[in-house]
Amino acid sequence: MNAIDLILAKRDGGRLEDEQIDWFIDAYTAGTVPDEQASALLMAILFRGLDAGELSRWTQAMIGTGTRADLSGVGRPTVDKHSTGGVGDKISLVLTPLVAACGAAVPQTAGRGLGHTGGTLDKMEAIAGWRSSLTADEVVAVLSRSGAVINAAGPDLAPADRKLYALRDITGTVESIPLIASSIMSKKIAEGTDALVLDVKVGSGAFMKDVARARELAEVMVGLGADHDVRTTALLTQMDVPLGRTAGNALEVGEAIEVLAGGGPADVVELTLALAAEMLELAGISHDPRSALAGGHAMDAWTAMVRAQDGDPDAPLPRAHEVEVVPSPATGTLARLDAMAIGVAAWRLGAGRARKEDPVSAVAGVVWHATVGDAVTAGQPLLELHLDDPSRLPSALDALPGAIEVAPAPASVPAPTLILGKIP
């Protein structure tokens, strides 16, 4: 076979055969197909798409470049969750130990932040001593003991995806729904979970800006789960307004701990409980996650998980040396708090990265003291910008014009609807 045949077939609207897909994924991963030919095929797929059969085989071929983990020895039903990324999305930090406290095993393979969206591993690494990379045997041991693990993807987890993802990032092919779906699902299927709940974000701070495309992506991913014997469902959730009250690594860990302790912002609690209910249903476990949260069992599972990965759950979280306060511009009701602007500000303060190899600051980020629908007073502290590098402040402030809108009192501004739909 040769790559030109595949490029021409897909360019002209044809269908790729199973053997062609298997050959291309293996050959590109091995380095025998050059980037320029792989780029041409990805662009053809962006314009022409992949049908359900092609996409299922493409995803299977990606999984097959590595190994599919065997978690049958864990002794509990396994279920995981994946978010497509947002601002202030610290849900995994609470959800993983919560669902473990209800009797499931949660093998959470997580990633790092890029651009305005935060990464779960970056957040967890704000905890003193916490270790992100476990071997396959360590993952099974930790899951058997505590039921919860948050782990970096190992080299054997769909290695084709690492090459294809990097190529998509520099060739303008990131937004292809088949390529997004296969990237996410190849890794989640390979991690060995029995069931999966997807949190597909929609809005200004999400990758998917409109509900129709988000629903299409969710439906495709749910279908891929079914094709590969992973029970899968998806929630569509809003990301026009950032989640909770913090965006930034140590800041979000602190907020997650507040939720585990029975407090925290209402939207974080609501979404955590909704996703937990979906995960437990797929796992076949009848348990009320709200009671596990209120009774302290989720906090116990958090402590066990952090310690199992060499972290110190009692160590104080790092704090910023400098805090810049942004006041409310008017008195009234907060009508707009743009997720993208808040995420970009946190990124520019040092909480995120422009390239995968860039370092991040544990302490940098944004705190907001009100959200959409809340009453505010002119001059009150509305945002706090946390940073340890003063040179970053001007560019972070430049991200904020237009991010905040205050409606004059007594305007009624409803809080945003958090959950927009479910698939299937």
pLDDT in tens, 22-74: 999 999 999 999 999 999 999 999 999 999 999 999 999 999 999 999 999 99
Task: Supply the pTM of this predicted model.
Answer: 0.96
Based on the residue annotation, tell me whether 291 is a catalytic residue of this protein. no
Based on the residue annotation, tell me whether 56 is a catalytic residue of this protein. no
Contact 404, 256 (CB under 8 A): no
In the predicted model, what is the mean pLDDT of residues 311-318? 98
What's the mean per-residue pLDDT of the chain? 96
Active-site residue identified among 163, 168, 188, 297:
168
Confidence class of residue 409 from pLDDT cuts 50, 70 and 90?
Answer: confident
pLDDT in tens, 208-219: 999 999 999 999
Half-sphere exposure of 224 (CA within 13 A, CB side): 36
Cβ neighbours around 204 below 10 Å, total:
20
Based on the residue annotation, tell me whether 188 is a catalytic residue of this protein. no
pLDDT in tens, 355-397: 888 899 999 999 999 999 999 999 999 999 999 999 999 999 9
Secondary structure (3-state) at 292:
helix
Residue 411 predicted with pLDDT over 90: no
- The pLDDT score that the predictor gives to residue 69 is 95
Residue 410 predicted with pLDDT over 90: no
- The pLDDT score that the predictor gives to residue 357 is 83
Active-site residue identified among 82, 116, 201, 228:
82
Based on the residue annotation, tell me whether 82 is a catalytic residue of this protein. yes
Confidence class of residue 274 from pLDDT cuts 50, 70 and 90?
Answer: very high
- The pLDDT score that the predictor gives to residue 114 is 83
Share of the chain above pLDDT 70, in %: 100
Report CA-CA distances (Å) from 364 to 60, 146, 231, 348: 39, 31, 38, 9
Which structural domains are found in the chain, ordered by start?
3-49 (1.20.970.10), 72-308 (3.40.1030.10), 322-408 (3.90.1170.30)
Amino acid occupying residue 403:
A
Contact 190, 158 (CB under 8 A): yes
CA pair distance 186, 248, nearest whole angstrom: 28
- The pLDDT score that the predictor gives to residue 120 is 97
Based on the residue annotation, tell me whether 287 is a catalytic residue of this protein. no
Active-site residue identified among 80, 89, 122, 161:
161
- The pLDDT score that the predictor gives to residue 115 is 84
Two tokens at 100? 């473990």
Amino acid occupying residue 89:
D
In the predicted model, what is the mean pLDDT of residues 143-147? 93
In the predicted model, what is the mean pLDDT of residues 117-140? 95
- The pLDDT score that the predictor gives to residue 354 is 84
Active-site residue identified among 187, 188, 348, 353:
187
CA pair distance 256, 222, nearest whole angstrom: 28
pLDDT in tens, 158-181: 999 999 999 998 999 999 999 999
Nearest to 289 by CA among 419, 114, 56, 95: 95
CA pair distance 75, 57, nearest whole angstrom: 31
Active-site residue identified among 56, 176, 183, 186:
183
- The pLDDT score that the predictor gives to residue 356 is 80
- Print burial letters for 149-178: b (CB count within 10 Å at least 16), e (below 16): bbbbbbeebbbbbbbbbebbeebebeebbb
